[in-house]
């Protein structure tokens, strides 16, 4: 069995879109370690002269902090063309879930619970389907938050492993799903950096926004698990309230 890593991030509701989205990239471990990390670091060195710069989409898009050099139009266009080409050619799949935040509150009688944990639990089933389809063993990697929040998330994962779900038995889950890993925000984790823009771009894709920043969401959307099939909205990017 091959090993797969799922790097995930989330985006919260805003004034322009009502959804909470939890999504990321599933990538085969050896390819990630031997090829993808090298390719991303080479891109960083080419455009910024160092590999320890951390790709954070909001900073990249707004040309701030370590990305202030992108205020130059020529440099900006060159970087984004290379970045989009890297994503297009990279071998990974996208998994995600989303839901309307206000509707979720209504489901909980107006009391907002932890959207992160709700999204995480829903995403586990999609990742399990992905792993069984690939006859693979997998680990989920998330950005570390407070220790208490990490503990609650681990509890969700542990109960999922121990009790199974309506789709997968506990024995199936133990056969394919290894663990959840917490990565400190400041660490230069390539997987989390590539996952960073995914949730926001999926919401733009689902909303049918005409303005696509350097073609980013049109580059990512074909990588959805089961993209272009009747299962795209069930296993690729699933609205768990519909």
Task: Return the SS3 of 18.
Answer: coil
pLDDT digits (tens, 9 = 90+) for 106-122: 887 766 668 889 999 99
**Which DSSP string corresponds to 28-93?**
EHHHIIIIIHHHHHHHHHHHHS-S-----HHHHHHT-GGGGGGGSHHHHHHHHHHHHHHHHHS--E
Both structure tokens of 209:
């926004």
54-58: average pLDDT: 94
Dihedral angle of Cα 3, 138, 176, 31, to the nearest 10 degrees: -20
Residue that is written with structure tokens 């699933």 in the block? 238
DSSP 8-state class, residue 195: H
Task: Check residue 107 and give its pLDDT.
Answer: 84
150-155: average pLDDT: 93
CA atoms in the 13 A half-sphere facing the CB of 35:
11
pLDDT digits (tens, 9 = 90+) for 65-110: 999 999 999 999 999 999 999 999 999 999 999 999 888 888 877 6
142 vs 120: CA distance, rounded Å: 10
pLDDT digits (tens, 9 = 90+) for 42-52: 999 999 999 99
Of 105 and 232, more confident: 232
pLDDT digits (tens, 9 = 90+) for 121-135: 999 999 999 999 999
188-193: average pLDDT: 95
Residues sharing a CB contact under 8 Å with residue 108, sequence separation 6 or more, in sequence order: none
Task: Check residue 147 and give its pLDDT.
Answer: 93
Task: Check residue 110 and give its pLDDT.
Answer: 65
Task: Check residue 113 and give its pLDDT.
Answer: 67
Residue that is written with structure tokens 């779900």 in the block? 165
Task: Check residue 194 and give its pLDDT.
Answer: 97
Task: Check residue 130 and give its pLDDT.
Answer: 98
Residues sharing a CB contact under 8 Å with residue 165, sequence separation 6 or more, in sequence order: 124, 125, 128, 173
Tell whether the model's pLDDT for residue 186 goes beyond 80: no
Write down the mean pLDDT value for the chain. Answer: 93
Domain 2-239 indexed as CATH 3.30.420.10: yes
77 vs 82: CA distance, rounded Å: 9
Percent share of the chain, pLDDT over 90: 84
């Amino acid at each position: 069995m091959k090993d797969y890593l799922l790097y995930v991030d989330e985006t919260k509701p805003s004034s322009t879109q009502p959804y909470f989205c939890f999504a990321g990239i599933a990538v085969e471990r050896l390819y990630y370690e031997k090829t993808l990390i090298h390719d991303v670091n080479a891109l960083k060195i080419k455009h910024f002269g160092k590999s320890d710069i951390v790709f954070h989409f909001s900073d990249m898009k707004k040309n701030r902090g370590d990305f202030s050099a992108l205020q130059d139009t020529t440099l900006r266009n060159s970087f984004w063309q290379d970045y989009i080409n890297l994503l297009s050619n990279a071998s990974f799949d996208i998994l995600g879930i989303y839901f309307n935040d206000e509707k979720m509150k209504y489901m909980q009688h107006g009391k907002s619970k932890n959207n992160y944990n709700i999204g995480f639990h829903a995403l586990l089933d999609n990742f399990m389907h992905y792993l069984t389809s690939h006859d693979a063993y997998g680990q989920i990697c998330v950005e570390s938050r407070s220790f208490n929040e990490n503990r609650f998330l681990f509890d969700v994962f542990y109960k999922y492993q121990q009790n199974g779900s309506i789709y997968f038995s506990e024995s199936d889950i133990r056969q394919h799903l290894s663990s959840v890993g917490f990565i400190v925000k400041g660490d230069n984790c390539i997987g989390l950096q590539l996952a960073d823009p995914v949730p926001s771009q999926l919401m733009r894709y689902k909303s049918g926004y005409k303005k696509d920043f350097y073609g980013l969401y049109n580059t990512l959307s074909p990588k959805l698990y089961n993209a272009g099939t009747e299962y795209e909205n069930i296993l690729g990017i699933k609205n768990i309230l519909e």
